[in-house]
């Protein structure tokens, strides 16, 4: 049964030819969209629909359609189905095509012959720059209606969202000659965006405890870190970027392949032991892959069952999700936050460990909300690991500051990455 705010969301979508459902993560954007789509089909307002989603979320759309609108027939368009004949055949039998952004980009020529009544773009914030190939494919698509879904309408720059809306609506809603205050920008976007926060519409969310978890570098890491820090300006000049310096320093903190042992892996292993002993489940996120490989080897050594959501194909990812949900003995889910921070519901876990966090708060919020969402029945603990007396300590503080800024315009207005990295590197202290 839909909640009251979800019913209002369905009504809004039905009456909105071009719009973005930007509800906070975990509020059921997919469900609302499916019910609105079902209504349009049943009332013969539309005859066909294409759903574009990240590859990792296609299976989730199949499951949710089968659950919430079982009368609707759909077909998943796979990479091998890249001919006009295959597309038309599937569309003729189902009326709903589920595909991904990469396939859409590669099959643009084949789709040009089809007039779609409705296009649904999940995680629409991926359409950032108007000049990208994926953006061009979406903009040039023949569609009478367009619904975008995202929990983070602005990832890096408000212009990305304003440009997206301008292209989709055919109106200039990104004027450069007016005051661009948060309130002014919000007024511009209001007719095209519906956003509700969990705090506004839910009263049964679990208690969430955020723990900043300090870790001290091992001696071998500290030696390498100190050497790199002393040469930071030289490295930035030679490689032309502060980001390269910051990446090197953070890689040392994470413990790359050159370190047999590293502080974060050992600390994470201890946390996992305690969580495992309490018969609870945990998701471990890392933006970088090297720490995940190291953690995987440690889990094998200490004999704690786990599944992985990185460095595997889509079928293996789906199997990992199913196993984690259904097998009580598998208590650890290790994942790349680049691919597992969107669209997944993993309320079987009530613990989250961030081995590291990315620069903008939206990415981190998306990851944590795989657990903090409708259906979570236990208190949740979030562990944010950082190495003391390093740039990671500075990043932790800046992320807290960015969260304050983030709320000014639909939870997303953050500074450019370049300014952030320079701010950290120029800091006089380690």
> What residues have CB less than 8 Å from 429, skipping those under 6 apart?
389
HSE-CB at 130 with a 13 A cutoff on CA atoms is 11
pLDDT digits (tens, 9 = 90+) for 84-111: 566 666 666 678 989 888 877 776 666 7
Let me know whether 213 and 171 are in one domain. Answer: no
Residue 333: its H or E element: strand 332-336
State how many domains the chain has: 2
Q: Can you tell me which residue has the tokens 């759309």? A: 61
Beta strands in 96-251 (DSSP E): 96-99, 116-122, 143-149, 193-194, 208-215
Question: Across all residues in the chain, what is the average pLDDT?
Answer: 81
Question: Minimal CA–CA distance to 393: which of 357, 360, 366?
Answer: 357
Let me know whether 194 and 216 are in one domain. Answer: no
pLDDT digits (tens, 9 = 90+) for 16-57: 999 999 888 778 899 999 999 999 999 999 999 999 998 878
**How far apart (Å, rounded) are the C-alpha atoms in residues 97 and 86?**
11
Q: Which residues, listed in sequence order, are joined to residue 116 by a DSSP beta bridge?
A: 143
Asked if residue 106 is part of any domain, the answer here is: yes
Q: What is the pLDDT of residue 82?
A: 54
For residue 198, count other CB atoms closer than 10 A to its CB. 17
Whether residue 303 is predicted with pLDDT greater than 60 in this model: the reply is: yes
Q: At 422, list the tokens.
A: 């320079």
Whether residue 430 is predicted with pLDDT greater than 50 in this model: the reply is: no
**How far apart (Å, rounded) are the C-alpha atoms in residues 170 and 163?**
10
Q: What's the domain range around 21?
A: 4-200
Let me know whether 189 and 305 are in one domain. Answer: no
* Sign of the CA dihedral running 368, 362, 27, 315: negative
Give start and end residues of each alpha helix (H) in 140-218.
Answer: 158-169, 182-189, 198-201
**How far apart (Å, rounded) are the C-alpha atoms in residues 343 and 409?**
22
For residue 62, count other CB atoms closer than 10 A to its CB. 15
**Residue ending a domain, choose from 153, 171, 200:** 200
Question: Minimal CA–CA distance to 12: which of 147, 123, 171, 165?
Answer: 147
Q: What are phi and psi of 342, to 5 degrees?
A: -125, 135
Domain of 219, CATH number, reads 3.40.50.300
Coil, strand or helix at 44: coil
**How far apart (Å, rounded) are the C-alpha atoms in residues 230 and 92?**
64
Cα dist from 391 to 104, 228, 322, whole Å: 40, 12, 37
Asked if residue 339 is part of any domain, the answer here is: yes
Q: What is the pLDDT of residue 54?
A: 84
Let me know whether 173 and 289 are in one domain. Answer: no
Q: What is the pLDDT of residue 123?
A: 86
**Residue ending a domain, choose from 160, 181, 200:** 200
138 touches 130 (CB < 8 A):
no
Coil, strand or helix at 132: coil
Let me know whether 318 and 379 are in one domain. Answer: yes
Asked if residue 407 is part of any domain, the answer here is: yes
Residue 76: its H or E element: strand 75-76
pLDDT range class, residue 415, cuts 50, 70, 90 = very low
Asked if residue 430 is part of any domain, the answer here is: no
Q: At 222, list the tokens.
A: 């500290």
Determine the average pLDDT of the residues in 254-268: 84
Bridge pairing between strands 193-194 and 18-21: parallel
């Amino acid at each position: 049964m839909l909640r009251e705010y979800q019913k209002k969301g369905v009504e809004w979508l039905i009456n909105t030819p071009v719009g973005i459902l930007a509800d906070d993560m975990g509020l059921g954007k997919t469900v609302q969209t499916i019910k609105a789509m079902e209504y349009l089909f049943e009332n013969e307002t539309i005859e066909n629909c294409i759903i574009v989603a990240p590859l990792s979320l296609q299976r989730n759309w199949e499951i949710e359609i089968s659950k919430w609108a079982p009368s609707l027939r759909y077909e998943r368009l796979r990479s091998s189905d890249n001919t006009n004949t295959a597309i038309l055949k599937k569309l003729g039998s189902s009326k709903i095509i589920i595909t991904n952004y990469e396939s859409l980009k590669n099959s643009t020529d084949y789709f040009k012959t089809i007039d779609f009544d409705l296009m649904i773009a999940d995680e629409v914030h991926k359409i950032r720059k108007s000049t990208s190939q994926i953006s061009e494919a979406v903009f040039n698509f023949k569609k009478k209606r367009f619904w975008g879904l995202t929990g983070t309408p602005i990832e890096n720059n408000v212009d990305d969202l304003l440009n997206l809306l301008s292209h989709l609506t055919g109106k200039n809603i990104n004027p450069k000659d007016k005051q661009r205050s948060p309130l002014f920008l919000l007024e511009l976007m209001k007719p095209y965006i519906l956003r509700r926060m969990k705090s506004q519409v839910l009263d049964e969310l679990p208690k969430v405890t955020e723990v900043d978890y300090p870790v001290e570098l091992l001696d071998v890491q500290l030696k390498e870190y100190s050497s790199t820090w002393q040469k930071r300006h030289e490295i930035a000049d030679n490689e032309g970027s502060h980001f390269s310096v910051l990446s090197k320093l953070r890689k040392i903190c994470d413990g790359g392949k050159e370190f047999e042992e590293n502080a974060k892996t050992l600390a994470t292993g201890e946390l996992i032991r305690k969580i495992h002993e309490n018969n609870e489940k945990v998701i471990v996120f890392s933006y970088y892959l090297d720490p995940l490989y190291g953690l995987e080897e440690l889990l094998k050594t200490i004999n704690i069952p786990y599944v992985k959501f990185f460095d595997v194909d889509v079928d293996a990812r789906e199997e990992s999700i199913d196993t984690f949900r259904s097998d009580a003995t598998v208590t650890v889910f290790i994942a790349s936050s680049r691919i597992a921070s969107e669209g997944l519901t993993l309320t079987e876990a009530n613990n989250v460990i961030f081995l590291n966090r990315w620069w903008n708060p939206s990415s981190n919020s998306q990851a944590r909300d795989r657990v903090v969402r409708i259906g979570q029945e236990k208190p949740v603990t979030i562990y944010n690991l950082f190495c003391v007396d390093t740039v990671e300590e500075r990043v932790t503080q800046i992320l807290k500051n960015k969260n304050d800024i983030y709320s000014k315009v639909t939870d997303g207005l953050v500074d450019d990455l370049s300014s952030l990295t320079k701010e950290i590197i120029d800091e006089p202290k380690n």
